[in-house]
Structure 1
């Protein structure tokens, strides 16, 4: 695992701002030559710190006007039910995230849909069909005040 020194922290921050930044521009921002910059980048990729690159899309411009935070409670927690639950969740593109949580509910999902009718159909056709689900509570987002997948990156010494 490569050390997250100040240069790697800056490199990761720059790539989170612009994942398409050319190596030459990245090296220039870091004040280093291209070859050492490229080596650092490759080490970060090979170690799994950088998992991949993607475009950030505007869900509303794609017609996905509803975002829901869905809390699920399940009665079945055995390995087979959990594996089937996970398989369905991973195969469902409207589910953006799923977290196994502490507290009264077992899972928290982030779900998108075109509109309320589409979301209602999704609840009936997908969420109510998940194995062992005994409770579904939805909270609809009225206003998205912040949305980011950018992680705060600091070096090992806190810089």
Structure 2
């Protein structure tokens, strides 16, 4: 299912060597257990002209008790951010930022990233290539 989420139940049943009804029951149990959360479309941003992808890592000044709430509220307002994650450890947050080109990235960085509240440290990692991005795991 991960390799081809558009496959029909009949195709999946054939691959698994079970009947369509049996496959449907198995999929329902997986959904009820919270293992399968649905089918998701993945947008190819580069095909739409968004050529730059940057992984930002943020460490906050935690002396203000509202630092996390203020920061995440401001981060959510940046429309070019496609993903936000929180961490334990020396890095508090990670976000994926996309831009049309380097000039657009520079504008986002100056106007939206550097103005985020409670920043203590930030690190920008420019994506060069993606080697693996499947989410697949042999079970």
**What is the TM-score normalised by the length of structure 1?**
0.73
Residue of structure 1 equivalent to 2:11: 25
Counterpart of 1:89?
A: 75
Q: Which runs of 5+ in 1 are unaligned?
A: 1-14, 155-159
Structure 1 residue aligned with 2:62? 76
Q: Which has the higher contact order (CA 8 A, sep 6+)?
A: 1
Q: Secondary structure at the match of 2:114?
A: helix
The 3-state SS of whatever aligns with 1:64 is coil
Q: Please name the residue that 2:109 is paired with.
A: 123
Question: Is residue 2:92 matched to residue 1:106?
Answer: yes
Partner of 1:140: 126
Cα distance in 2 for partners of 1:125, 1:22 equals: 46
- Structure 1 vs Structure 2 CA RMSD: 2.3
Bigger proportion of residues as helix: 1
Residue 64 of structure 1 aligns with which residue?
Answer: 50
* 1:54-74 deviation per Cα after TM superposition (whole angstroms, max 9, x unaligned): 222322111111011212221
Following TM superposition, the consecutive aligned residue runs of length 4 or more in structure 1 with deviations greater than 6 angstroms are none
Confirm or deny: 8 A CA contact 1:98 1:108 kept in the other structure.
yes
TM-score (structure 2 length as normaliser): 0.82
